[in-house]
Structure 1
């Protein structure tokens, strides 16, 4: 959706779920994905999302025109970043190959450095920088531990997994109504009795 004179710029191979709302001055790079119920709202400032990044279901990404010291507060999300379900990112920066857990909240001028991780449910207060290779969690968030090499590799793998999953969702969402109805008919026709639930009379495709 456009707002004022601001128009989203979304690469043609980005998966944007049909229930997501991409509003205003938002740029999303190739192979990224904006999942169901997400709202990146770039009305009073800009949002930039890099390549291969996933912003998962029901997450909110917003901005501020400026803070009390007059600093502009766009939101910048780098390449190969994973933002977990129901996270809130506001006027912050998440660098390449970082990980934001489910339900985490990042407030104004937070910086999550490359290969940094914010744990699920964490509240990262204004002006906080979470260093590379550390896990931050809690309310307010504080350093919990150093990431192992395996955990850092997991961050990159998580982003890659979501790139592949997004392609599958894009294919399903692109199907015309007639094709969907035909597939439903086939599933019903070839449904079989599930022995585990046989006493309940449940058929499984």
Structure 2
């Protein structure tokens, strides 16, 4: 039944778009055609729909497709694609999925499990059946073969990936700190992306109005600027 409703809704949407195109053609040279992006941040596949916690951040250019779950305080950054068409994709709490990746910059995860407070480096590839335990680390550019298990507190790297060394206490602390930093940064991005167009235009006008064009210009606007100490010019040395 859910698939039937989905199909009917799809037909209605496509019919509306077809009528819009027909109307444009009837207007001939007098119509204005604007190309509108059909990108959808959240997209269901039949009865499989993404579920995002209200305190999670999903960037406007990201794509969550099908059976995808995102937990509290997590962030899905710009250009990411999470596809839950064949299997369920679960992103736990406080997790960051970074720019143009499927976890970590340009990393690829396929049918694997990454536990809490684990770290996957840039450009790494994890194949089917891989398990990265808590406090496990996959080095940048590593290729982890099928059904490999990376134990707690170990660094694996290379192609194919193999054990390199144990993590230090400082590196383990860095993993949690990095996740917390991205979580805080996501809150700022969420606020900016939620602003309506009217407020964005208003802020542009304000920035242009109060742009620094010289002390005389500031005096006319009655603007007083506080200069940070590190940018303030040095005080002249009195003559001896």
Larger radius of gyration: 2
Report the Cα distance in structure 2 between the residues aligned to 1:175 and 1:27, rounded to whole angstroms: 25
RMSD over aligned Cα atoms:
1.6
- Deviation, 1:193, is 6.4
Q: Find 1:27's aligned residue among 60, 64, 69.
A: 69
**Which aligned runs of 4 or more in structure 1 are off by greater than 4 angstroms?**
none
What is residue 92 of structure 1 aligned with on the other side?
A: 112
The structure richer in strand per residue is 1
What is residue 49 of structure 1 aligned with on the other side?
A: 91
**Consecutive unaligned residues in structure 1, runs of 5 or more:** 61-82, 195-205
Report the Cα distance in structure 2 between the residues aligned to 1:129 and 1:30, rounded to whole angstroms: 27
> 92-101 vs 133-142, which deviates more?
133-142
State the structure with bigger RCO (CA 8 A, min sep 6), 1 or 2. Answer: 1
What is residue 36 of structure 2 aligned with on the other side?
A: none
Normalising by structure 2, we get a TM-score of 0.69
What is residue 150 of structure 1 aligned with on the other side?
A: 170
Task: Tell me whether 1:37 sits opposite 2:79 in the alignment.
Answer: yes
- Deviation, 1:141, is 1.2
- Deviation, 1:4, is 2.4
Alignment length (residue pairs): 173
SS at match of 1:184: helix
Task: Tell me whether 1:5 sits opposite 2:47 in the alignment.
Answer: yes
What is residue 65 of structure 1 aligned with on the other side?
A: none
Task: Tell me whether 1:165 sits opposite 2:207 in the alignment.
Answer: no
Q: Find 1:107's aligned residue among 111, 115, 127.
A: 127
What is residue 25 of structure 2 aligned with on the other side?
A: none
SS at match of 1:161: helix
Report the Cα distance in structure 1 between the residues aligned to 2:135 and 2:69, rounded to whole angstroms: 22
**Consecutive unaligned residues in structure 2, runs of 5 or more:** 1-42, 215-240
Alpha-carbon displacement from aligned partner over 1:136-195 (angstroms, at most 9, x marks no partner): 11111112211001100100111111110000000000001111112222222233369x
Alpha-carbon displacement from aligned partner over 1:23-55 (angstroms, at most 9, x marks no partner): 111111110111101111000111111100000
What is residue 18 of structure 1 aligned with on the other side?
A: 60
